[in-house]
Structure 1
């Protein structure tokens, strides 16, 4: 979830599709790195797992949606106080 929250704080104007693509590609990069490093013998017991790819992407997107919701609620409350 942290990457989704960070993206929502850094880039407030991104669409959900773009955020999901960024998160998917970053998770894919990590999984491919684990596969490459595991096959080269640099790390032990690391492999490419599609389940991790899907669940990481889903969790990060949920984190992004929650962060966007909380930011909008905070913004509305701040405007009402002013």
Structure 2
């Protein structure tokens, strides 16, 4: 069941984290630095009974992605799907 924000009478928390840019080489630090900590915090909030919504990776069409797609002669969607 997906969380809904806000719910009247509950503590509502929206948690977001950014994915690394596609023009960089992926490494373990990317996950540890932003994604893992946000996921752990979201799970903690849910265990406490808070209404927590965690959103990650919703910016596929940022400038860096479009630039990388142009460099590789592909589309932003193809870059993000790699």
TM bracket (short chain): 0.3 to 0.5
TM-score normalized by the length of structure 1: 0.35
| Relative contact order, higher structure (CA 8 A, sep 6+) | 1
Instruction: Give the structure with higher Rg (CA).
Output: 1
Structure with greater helix share of residues: 1
TM-score normalized by the length of structure 2: 0.35
Structure with greater strand share of residues: 2
